[in-house]
A and B are shown apart, each in its own frame.
Chain A
Amino acid sequence: DAKTTQPNSMESNEEEPVHLPCNHSTISGTDYIHWYRQLPSQGPEYVIHGLTSNVNNRMASLAIAEDRKSSTLILHRATLRDAAVYYCILIPNRDDKIIFGKGTRLHILP
């Protein structure tokens, strides 16, 4: 299974944009890039996913490098509620397994 590498932790100021990086140099052509986040004392929740093109939804944007070896989750205006652990996960198309890594713990400073 292809692996992802994320920084252990990051800090950002409230109301500023946040760019969370993820490296996945061994990604294969059928791997989708998924992001989940886990707020304190809660189960993970889906954020966004993509294959090749950049994606936007109400929560965030996903920027995927042209060679697909890295991606960036963008929170456009961080709030205190965005403090969480963010997981970047590769899921092959037509595969059921969802394997989590260690993720990035995001701290938001008021």
Chain B
Amino acid sequence: NAGVTQTPKFQVLKTGQSMTLQCAQDMNHNSMYWYRQDPGMGLRLIYYSASEGTTDKGEVPNGYNVSRLNKREFSLRLESAAPSQTSVYFCASKWDRTNTEAFFGQGTRLTVV
């Protein structure tokens, strides 16, 4: 039982390059999330998805797109990376809108140079 798996774990991009961060969960959860965490700061919600086929903006959605490919997978795409997007990105999932615990991945450390 792997929980929430994020790939890659580390990535260096040049300004203007694009990439997709992958997230998959094996707990049959309905809700999935993407967060970013800048050095010394708390987590900020980028996008979330309440179910397959639905996505909603969080606190800081600009510069990102997401896809809820199926119930298991929720990807985050940077179309044209900027140095301000250098951060650690966390994916999370939970059962649904009832008050259950969320499970987080180990993070993807992204550096944009």
Q: Which of A51, A96, A97, A102 contacts B42 (CB 8 A)?
A: A102
Q: Interface on chain A toward B: helix, strand, loop, or mixed SS?
A: loop
- Give Cα A96 to B35, complex, Å: 14
Binary per-residue interface labels of chain A (41-57) against chain B in the complex, 1 for a CB within 8 Å, 0 otherwise:
01111100101000000
B48 contact from A46, A97, A101, A102, Cβ within 8 A: A97
Contacts of A51 in B (CB 8 A): 99
Q: Which of B10-18, B73-81, B104-112 contacts A (4 or more CB under 8 A)?
A: B104-112
Closest to A95 in B: B97
Interface centre among B90, B101, B107, by most A CB within 10 Å?
B101
- Residue in A43, A100, A102 with the greatest tally of chain B CB atoms within 10 Å: A43
The total of chain B residues at the interface (CB under 8 A) is 27
Chain B residues positioned under 8 Å from A36 (CB to CB)? 102
- Interface residues on chain A, number (Cβ under 8 Å): 24
Contact residues of A between 23 and 39, Cβ < 8 Å to B:
32, 34, 36
Q: How far is it, in angstroms, between the C-alpha of A87 and the C-alpha of B44 when the chains are bound?
A: 13
Specify which chain B residues have a CB less than 8 angstroms from the CB of A99 in the assembled complex.
Answer: 45, 58-59
For the complex, give the distance between the alpha carbons of A100 and B44 in Å. 7
B24 beta carbon closer than 8 Å to chain A: no
A47 to B: closest C-beta gap in Å: 9
Cα distance, A100 to B58, chains bound together (Å)? 11
- A20 at interface, CB cutoff 8 A: no
Query: Cα distance A94–B58 when bound, in Å?
Result: 17
Instruction: Name the contact of A100 in the complex, choosing from B4, B31, B42, B48 (C-beta under 8 A).
Output: B42
Residues on A with C-beta less than 8 A from B59 are: 99
